[in-house]
Amino acid sequence: MNAPAEVTLYWRPGCPFCMRMRATLRLRGLRPREVDIWKDPDAAAFVRSVADGNETVPTVVIDGVAHVNPPPRMVVDALRRG
């Protein structure tokens, strides 16, 4: 059996893609670590560093690998792994 994935979801208020991702996860009872990039300047800088200088969210880090605007299914699968 694999260890559960370490998942961090970077998001911001008002982002429809973030709302979709968060709702998809919550409906399945899945709770990654969530970071609001508007409240955390270091998190915003990280997102820019992996998204070609943009604050593109959701950005999800799964086991240390950043994914910019991944499909919700990828995140659900990572959180259910284990």
Q: What is the CATH number of the domain that holds 48?
A: 3.40.30.10
Does residue 34 fall inside a structural domain? yes
Q: Could you give the 3-state DSSP secondary structure of residue 36?
A: strand
Does residue 3 fall inside a structural domain? no
Does residue 45 fall inside a structural domain? yes
Work out how many domains the chain is built from and give that number: 1
Return phi, psi of residue 66, to 5°: -85, 140
The parent domain of residue 38 ranges over: 9-61+69-80
DSSP 17-32: HHHHHHHHHHHTT---
Is pLDDT above 90 for 4? no
Does residue 51 fall inside a structural domain? yes
Does residue 14 fall inside a structural domain? yes
pTM of the predicted model as reported, rounded to 2 decimal places = 0.93
**Each residue of 10-31: pLDDT tens digit?**
999 999 999 999 999 999 999 9
* Confidence (pLDDT) at 81: 84
